[in-house]
């Protein structure tokens, strides 16, 4: 008996027919089921139930290990991101003061604009433009 296997391919088991000794090969998952020898045409129980259990156990262990590796990878990634996010406090202070400055500048600019163009300025301009257009069509 010998198991040929990777966890990605279907494992198979080689053994000798209990009746005629012919070399046979079955999928490991068939262990414990009945089969007929293609050589002597006698039925027999496919061996390898222990191997099958062993295989299942190893496969589970392999999957658990992969899952643990994946978890560790995600954890490391999360930690790295958290570290990146926790910016140097002085840098953050600078950023905040820059933002405040930008807001102050914007406010000052809009106040200056309002001072230069009071609310009454716009309708007046529209009236002037309207009059100009009227004269343009009336006399040209």
Binding site for Zn ion (CB under 5 A): 17, 19-20, 22, 37, 39-40
**What is the CB neighbour count within 10 angstroms for residue 28?**
20
Residue closer to Zn ion (CB basis): 42 or 94: 42
Report, in Å, the least distance between residue 37 CB and Zn ion. 3
Cβ-in-10-Å burial (0-12, 13-18, 19+) of 62 comes to exposed
CA dihedral 23, 29, 34, 40 (to 10 degrees): -20
Residue closer to Zn ion (CB basis): 29 or 37: 37
Report, in Å, the least distance between residue 25 CB and Zn ion. 13
Closest CA to 39 of 21, 66, 52, 64: 21
Backbone dihedral angles phi then psi of residue 78, each to the nearest 5 degrees: -60, -40
Report, in Å, the least distance between residue 31 CB and Zn ion. 17
Beta carbons of 55 and 11 less than 8 angstroms apart: yes
Residue closer to Zn ion (CB basis): 39 or 80: 39
Report, in Å, the least distance between residue 23 CB and Zn ion. 10
Beta carbons of 14 and 24 less than 8 angstroms apart: yes
Residue closer to Zn ion (CB basis): 5 or 35: 35
């Amino acid at each position: 008996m010998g198991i040929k296997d990777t966890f990605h391919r279907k494992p198979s088991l080689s053994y000798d027919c209990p009746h005629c000794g012919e070399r046979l090969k079955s999928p490991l998952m068939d262990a414990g089921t009945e089969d007929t020898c293609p050589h002597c045409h006698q039925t027999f129980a496919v061996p390898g139930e222990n191997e099958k259990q062993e295989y299942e156990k190893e496969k589970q262990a392999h999957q658990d290990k992969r899952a643990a590796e994946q978890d560790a990878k995600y954890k490391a990634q999360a930690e790295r991101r958290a570290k990146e996010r926790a910016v140097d406090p002085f840098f953050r202070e600078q950023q905040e003061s820059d933002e405040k400055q930008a807001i102050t500048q914007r406010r000052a600019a809009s106040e200056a604009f309002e001072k230069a163009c009071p609310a009454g300025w716009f309708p007046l301009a529209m009236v002037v433009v309207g009059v100009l257009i009227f004269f343009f069509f009336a006399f040209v």
